[in-house]
Structure 1
Amino acid sequence: MEEDIEEASADADVDALADTAIDDDVDAADAAEDADIEDDEDDADFDEEEGGRERTAQADAMWNDVRIEPVEIALLKGVGFTLRAYRLNTELTPTEVDEEEDDFAILDRRPAHDEDDERVVILENAELFEDEPEPAAVEASSTRSRKKPAKKDDADSDEAAESDELDEAADLDEDADKADDEDAEAEADAQDEDEEEEEEEAEPEEVPAFLSHRGKLLLFRSAEGLVEFVKSDAEHDLTQLDTWESLRKRITASAVVPTEENHYELDLVVENLRGGQDAWDTDLLLAAGEAARDLAYALRLEPVRTALAPGSPLDDLDEGLRAAAAGGMGGFFAKRRLKKIGAQQAALGWRTIIGKISAAVDWRD
């Protein structure tokens, strides 16, 4: 009997120890879970502080399907969202740009009445304005006629023959001029045909298109404002895309998360350039050049396109930054070339570019 009691007591002690171990495991699991939650919250706070949100796989799939991307652009007036797509130039119709008033149009204005020069003016005492004959010329003519009366016929015949020769030479020259003109016209026509054939044979190229209207970039201060506009029936340049209707149905505010390469901080470019070559941010400046070129093409900002055209000082700056970032001997020589580019000149050029882009922005809430 005593042995049974001892065995029961031992079993109870073992059960108690097992329960304690289980409780300890549960507490440890709860603590780990709480720690993970806190870490997630810290990561979320970090992402929010950095101004970025992670894009979901579902959002990635949607943007890839429609071949359109959200873009975030920072300008001096604030930060805004818009959309950009790349398509072949044969698939897009360029945006319509309102023609600006010509400040020098007044110089080209003509008088209201073109017939002013042909007006008939009645003068009083018209005889005062009549031309009088020149007596000297008349007298000289009569003198010559008196001096050579006998040779008049011979002179007339010589003059007639000489006149006929001159007329014949003039006719030959005129025929030669006509032949030259015809050859020139034929050559010009052939050149025009060659240019047309080259244009027809030119391969289509991929070009950018933005959410814009009549040469104005639509920039939204919130993702919700962008989504509301996309779902509306408002007119803009992206309605011509074949995937636009699909985007209208699927877009949500949570999906408007631009990727890292679609963030453009144009508001920092001038300040960075003024800091000198040693302070230049290569990624910042190259990204700004990409955005400015795309916007200049899509919005038809010809001054910006000219400022960033191949061979321009700002394009040389971009090429130098790329080569310097690549390293090697090319990067070494590129750094030397960059030192010859004036920081103030580059900053002034970019300030003008950003001013042109800012003037072409239609801010929306």
Structure 2
Amino acid sequence: MARQSPQRPDADEPELDDTTASATADELDVDRPAADRALWDELRIDPVEIALPAGTGFTLRAYRPARELTPTDVAERDQDDPFLARRQVVETEDDEEMVILDEEFAALSAEDEDEERPEGRRRGRTEALDEEAEVDEDEVDEDEEEDAGDEEVPVFLSHRGRLLLFKTPESLVSFIRSGAPNDMSQLDSWNELSERVEPADIAPLDEDTYELDLVVENLRGGHDTWDPTLLIEAGEVARDLAYALRLPAVLDMLSAGSRLDDLDEALRATVNGGIGGFMGRRRLKKIGAQTASLGWRTIVGKISAVVDWRD
């Protein structure tokens, strides 16, 4: 199950002393045998547990070379929710795509950058971005395109741009066996999974369990309460979901050089310790809690908007 954030204590559960807590943990270890990972390792697919404000659900994720995957079709999703499509991507007069971010987050990010960056540096970066924008896409090296095709990218159990989240392992297994259309059915190991998977196999590893529902509240608590593990793992799954579900606004908010990417790098530095950890803590102090929490509120909202909950 997902870890309980120190920001959200469960008032219904009595406090346990160290002895009782240790005994309880031992009992859980005895009662809950480790799941057999042979099936997942063989088929290169993993069960995943994701907690969102609306609830917690199970799904599947795999990584495959980009050239082997057909991206999910988002045409129907964006047609059903034109506001979702409009707030993510619009066409400019030059027929180029432009990503639209949450207005409040974009404004706060701009203010933070202006406060930190000298005028000359701001102007230099703007000029550099303008020069990059003028590069003709036809000049992309063929070798780079081939490398991109070999890069492993995420694919989730989704359909037509919506993430399928199941409230129980039984309902997830029932769907896998049903033969219903989904984006993972293109995998060469999908048919074998549908024949062999059992509810007991749906036991995500700790590193495949994500608590997106706790991120915003944790960030609002301020720098001293930030949970590096929680936030780093949230960033990893959010990037995967944004790529697999084709959410360009989320990808942009987490892209290299963005405010939230700076937060991620600083948190990783603090975890690694040493002089890098010291520098990471200094960098964290420069990242506004309001900016970070507002940005993540937007990300969690955009992901939640494309979830298809299944009982």
TM-score (norm 2): 0.71
Structure 2 counterpart of 1:46? 28
Partner of 2:301: 355
- The equivalent of 1:114 in structure 2 is none
- Residue 50 of structure 2 corresponds to residue 73 of structure 1: yes
Identity of aligned residues (%): 58
Structure 1: runs of 5+ lacking an equivalent: 1-40, 109-187
SS at match of 2:165: strand
Structure 2 match to 1:257: 203
Q: 1:267 aligns with which of 191, 213, 219?
A: 213
SS of 2:73's partner is: coil
Q: 1:245 aligns with which of 172, 175, 191?
A: 191
Residue 148 of structure 1 corresponds to none
Note if 1:337 corresponds to 2:309: no
Task: Please tell me the residue identity of whatever aligns with 1:86.
Answer: Y
Mapping for residues 211-230 of structure 1, pairs under 5 Å: 211-230=157-176
Question: Aligned-pair distance for 1:291?
Answer: 0.5
**2:40 aligned to which of 63, 84, 92:** 63
How far apart are 1:192 and its partner, in Å?
Answer: 3.0
Decide whether aligned partners of structure 1 residues 200 and 254 sit closer, same or farther in structure 2, where only a CA change above 3 A counts. closer
Q: After TM superposition, list the pairs within 5 Å mapping 1:27-46 onto structure 2.
A: 45-46=27-28
Q: Are 2:65 and 2:149, in contact at CA under 8 Å, matched by a contact in 1?
A: no
Aligned pairs (5 A) from 1:154-165: none
Q: What are the Cα deviations for residues 54-96 of structure 1, in whole angstroms up to 9, with x where unaligned?
A: 433xx31111111100000000111000000011101111100
Counterpart AA for 1:96: D
Structure 1 residues 322 and 62: alpha-carbon distance in aligned structure 2, compared to 1, 3 A threshold: same
One-letter amino acid matched to 1:255: D
Task: Name the CA distance, whole Å, in 1 between partners of 2:297 and 2:86.
Answer: 23
Distance change (3 Å), C-alpha of 1:364 and 1:333: same
1:1-365 superposed matches below 5 A: 45-46=27-28, 53-56=32-35, 59-98=36-75, 99-100=78-79, 101=82, 192=138, 195-196=141-142, 198-200=144-146, 202=148, 204-365=150-311
Query: 3-state SS of the aligned residue for 1:94?
Result: coil
**Aligned match of 1:125:** none
Deviation at 1:193, TM superposition (A): 6.3
**Distance of aligned partners of 1:307 and 1:194 in 2 relative to their CA distance in 1, 3 Å threshold:** closer
Secondary structure of 2:34's partner? coil
CA spacing shift, 1:62–1:200, aligned 2, 3 Å: closer
Between the aligned partners of 2:239 and 2:207, the Cα distance in structure 1 is: 15
The amino acid across from 2:50 in the alignment is: I
| Partner AA of 1:270 in structure 2 | V
Q: Return the structure number with greater helix share.
A: 1
| Cα distance in 1 between the residues matched to 2:159 and 2:148 | 28
CA shift in 2, pair 1:293/1:313, >3 Å: same
Q: In 2, are the aligned partners of 1:73 and 1:81 still within 8 Å (CA)?
A: yes
Tell me by how many angstroms 1:45 deviates.
5.0
**Does the 8 Å CA contact 1:55/1:255 hold for their aligned counterparts?**
no
Q: Displacement, 1:318?
A: 0.3
**Structure 2 residue matching 1:311: 3-state secondary structure:** coil
Counterpart amino acid of 2:43?
Answer: V
Number of residues of Structure 1 aligned to a counterpart in Structure 2:
238
Aligned partner of 1:156 in structure 2 is: none
Cα deviation per residue 1:238-288 (whole Å; 9 max; x = unaligned)? 000010111111100011100110110000000000111110001000000
1: CA distance, partners of 2:201 / 2:283: 43
Over 3 Å counting, the alpha-carbon distance change for 1:44 and 1:278 in structure 2 is: closer
Partners of 2:166 and 2:310 within 8 A in 1? yes
Take 1:92 and 1:202, find their aligned partners in 2: how far apart are those partners? Answer: 13
Alignment correspondent of 2:102: none
1:337: how far off? Answer: 1.1
Q: Which runs of 5+ in 2 are unaligned?
A: 1-22, 94-134
- What is the TM-score when the length of structure 1 is the normalising length? 0.61
What is the SS of the residue equivalent to 2:188?
Answer: coil
Q: Contact 1:308–1:315 at 8 Å: present in 2 too? A: yes
Q: Is the 2:163–2:308 Cα contact (8 Å) retained in structure 1?
A: yes
**In the alignment, is the contact (CA less than 8 A) between 1:80 and 1:219 conserved in 2?**
yes
CA RMSD of aligned residues (A): 2.6
Pick which of 300-309 and 91-100 moved more: 91-100
